[in-house]
Structure 1
């Protein structure tokens, strides 16, 4: 859920940058996403109600991450997809600069690599820094 919150925060910021609009303050604390002074909701409800484009999301499907209470609200029509808007930005379109969004698939591209604990005799440490 935390990754989804950070994904949404980054997506909204990038959408505002592309639209050349000032982004409202966005924070993610204790499982709740606060967008400006108007909206405080869970990341799943933010993605659903703002109808955020999830094409680049590499995690579980949104419906699988919703709580039972959220699913019930959706089924009963209390909450509708795309019912909330942020002025001047379209969150339903994919972003042009997709590389700037955090990778959530567990990719190890940016992960810290651990050094080998021990080396066999005559073996060189591949992580050793050599000054030329």
Structure 2
């Protein structure tokens, strides 16, 4: 009986530790608007991806809407590289460092893509 009670207590303790670790994993939404440098208008349907800086592993991706707005709803804490691509424009790379001190929303505001010049 005493062994069973000790075993049950240890199992409950292990379960509570596992649950606590799950709750500590924080995610934050990231918003922004992709605009065109030539006319400073919206650049719709750009591809937005995040890559973990620690190991260069792909993490999340989305597309901007027709007005250039995008949201990545649940980006993990840590250091990321944001990569924005669109057909006629140079790729945009931006570092994101999301930590426990970050607010509840990360707003990148306007991200200007530079027009890709074709040389002959």
TM-score w.r.t. structure 2 length?
A: 0.25
Which has a greater percent of helix? 1
Q: TM-score under structure 1 normalisation?
A: 0.23
